[in-house]
Structure 1
């Protein structure tokens, strides 16, 4: 099945106009993550990763994350574009989310600007914000895109999209 991209309205972006391999952009939008009632990250120095068919992933500098809530886990994955990623488990009070944040440990040269940055899956969080808009998590459990009203799909991760 071939996707039928939704035409973007003025001020919107289509994920089908994003490149492959992915592109990294700096953003000055406020990125905020809340877990178990605690603001664990808040920045205006994030990077967003844009890849065909995916809503953006936001990566936050470690200086703008309450790292005391993150514990390294043994989980790792491999991205054909960016390299080897390691993961953190997030624990705030009595609540825990395993392998919910990742960072690149062995990164390819084209993506070295992500060194010192951490990406977060939005689904397990109480809320993730881009400026003052609460994001919707990318469909499915595999991907970590942040959907806002200025992004249109369809998005990889929705039912029937694994073949895209």
Structure 2
């Protein structure tokens, strides 16, 4: 079944978090990192969706890192290192343990940078990471732009 195209310019600001039933999966170093049909996606103007995975669906070993960032909407994010397939990927994921009001649905779920993992898929389609190294959006063929994150886009 073909999915309807979504423009990132139709996404809201402030962002919206919503449960989805699409299959969100990732592999790294030959191992499954996660496979979930119980994810939450966050939609924000100019960004492809970011998928948050419930901890019960994560198969790799995670340990907290020292990195912290602040989102004006979601609150303080803590970052996670992933050990899988005999290697460690630093700061591969982030979470909001105590998200801001309106984003409680994200509490404890983890979002992963698709560019730091070998393969990320949405319903079996391989994802292209959002341009740049700060944002963690997952770009699929049903998402249109222009997309924030590449050179010259930080001001919009």
Normalising by structure 2, we get a TM-score of: 0.95
State the alpha-carbon separation in 1 of the partners of residues 86 and 19 from structure 2.
34
Q: Match for residue 141 of structure 1?
A: 133
After superposition, the C-alpha distances for 1:8-64 in whole angstroms (9 at most, x for unaligned) are xx8200000000000011111100011111111011000100000000000001111
Q: Match for residue 79 of structure 1?
A: 71
Q: Match for residue 114 of structure 1?
A: 106
Deviant stretches of 4+, over 6 Å:
none
Match of 2:144 among 147, 152, 155: 152
CA contact (8 A) 2:97 2:108 kept: no
Q: Which runs of 5+ in 2 are unaligned?
A: none
Structure number with bigger Rg: 1
CA-atom RMSD, angstroms? Answer: 1.2
Q: Match for residue 94 of structure 1?
A: 86
Q: Is 2:19 the partner of 1:26? A: yes
Q: Match for residue 6 of structure 1?
A: none
Residue 106 of structure 1, CA deviation: 3.0
State the alpha-carbon separation in 1 of the partners of residues 132 and 19 from structure 2.
26
Instruction: Give the total of aligned pairs.
Output: 154
Q: Which runs of 5+ in 1 are unaligned?
A: 1-9
SS in 1 for 2:115: coil
